[in-house]
Amino acid sequence: MLNHSTVTEFLLLGFSDIRELQILHFVMFLVIYVAALMGNLLIISAIVLDHRLHSPMYFFLLNLSILDLGAISVIIPKSMANSIMDTTVISYPACVTQVFLFVFFFGTDLSVLTVMAYDRYVAICQPLHYEQVMTRRACVKMATSAWMAGIIYSSLHTGNTFRLPLCQSNNIDQFFCEIPQLLKLACSDSYRSEIGVIAASAVLSTTCFLFIIITYVQIFNTVLRIPSEQGRHKAFSTCLPHLAVIFLLLCPAIIGYLKPNTSSASNLDLVVGVLYAVVPPLMNPVIYSMRNKEIKAGLKKLLGRR
């Protein structure tokens, strides 16, 4: 019988213990990590250096790229290090830190995406009031509120998870410390905490998702009434990437946190973990740069300057 006060380390058993597959895992994650770093750093540099991108929408996109950098840096380097060193160990403090930071970045990411939906609503549905509503001070306040909400959300989740006594083992069937996997290790009477975690996640995700859906219903109603085809195309080009990023983040996370827990290892757990922890930070810069002419122009200017 193990207790949380006696556990000093966890074993991350997500990937294979075959050496060749560990090397393959290291190479794949290295490519993904470098691509995500380059993509998000290019977005950040383009927004900071190009004065044409100094607007509320790109200010929030800057925050999103910073959060993506943080989220992927919390997860991938440790997993790569374990693969190349042929170990599965992560210390207890490192696991706590990983959970706190990842949930913080994820929660703040979702909050920023919700604020970005409001920004698009004001820009498209109330264009005459946009400059009065989305002032620099208001944008800073909204971004700060999103980051503070992420800290509070992560603190509650992390504290609630690691206060539970562990009665199973210290084996985590994932390539990073993940709350649903940690709850599997807790004693059988931890169901109340598990319900609390699921309820908190469901409330946050559902509230943000419903707000975004209601906002975009009004946005699309307004866009469809725009007489100019060019105007409709421009409006859609700023909305569709945002929606794609939201679904890319939320759908796998909802599956990962709300699906029934089983005591045995599952390949679905591993796939879902990769989908919501690794794929969004990699794909977000691609999604935004593909559909946004201003971002494309900013990146071309930045790369041309280099």
For 275-293, write each residue's pLDDT tens digit. Answer: 888 988 988 888 887 667 7
Tell me the average pLDDT of the chain.
83
In eight-state DSSP terms, residue 177 is -
C-alpha span between 100 and 104 (Å, rounded): 6
Average pLDDT for 220-243 = 80
Q: CB–CB of 215/232 below 8 Å?
A: no
- Own/partner contacts of 213-217, CB < 8 Å, gap of 24 or more, are 215/117, 215/118, 215/120, 215/121, 216/117, 216/120, 216/243
Residue 303 has pLDDT above 70, yes or no: yes
With cut-offs at 50, 70 and 90, classify the pLDDT of residue 72.
very high
pLDDT digits (tens, 9 = 90+) for 115-171: 999 998 998 888 888 889 999 999 999 999 999 999 988 988 888 888 877 776 788
CATH classification (class only), 9-305: mainly alpha
Per-residue pLDDT, 186: 78
C-alpha span between 290 and 110 (Å, rounded): 21
Residue 56 has pLDDT above 50, yes or no: yes
Name residue, tokens 């490519």.
Answer: 31
Residue 305 has pLDDT above 70, yes or no: no
Name residue, tokens 């970005």.
Answer: 116
Per-residue pLDDT, 192: 64
Residue 52 has pLDDT above 90, yes or no: no
DSSP for 158-222 reads: HHHHHTSPB-S-SEESSSS--HHHHHHTB-GGGHHHHHHHHHHHHHHHHHHHHHHHHHHHHHHHH
pLDDT digits (tens, 9 = 90+) for 35-51: 999 999 988 988 888 88
Q: Where are the domains of the chain?
A: 9-305
Average pLDDT for 291-298 = 73
By C-alpha distance, which of 88, 64, 79, 67 is closest to 32? 79
Tokens of 283: 């794909």
Per-residue pLDDT, 139: 93
Q: At 70, which amino acid appears?
A: G
C-alpha span between 170 and 226 (Å, rounded): 58
Q: 84-88, 176-180, 204-208: lowest mean pLDDT where?
A: 204-208
C-alpha span between 238 and 228 (Å, rounded): 16
The CB density around residue 72, as the number of other CB atoms within 10 Å, is 24
Tokens of 122: 């004001």
Three-state DSSP at 3 gives: coil
Provide the b/e sequence for 35-59 (b: ≥16 CB within 10 Å): ebbebbebbbbbbeebeebebbbbb
Instruction: Name 186's bridge partners.
Output: 166
Q: Are strands 9-12 and 171-172 parallel, antiparallel or unpaired?
A: parallel
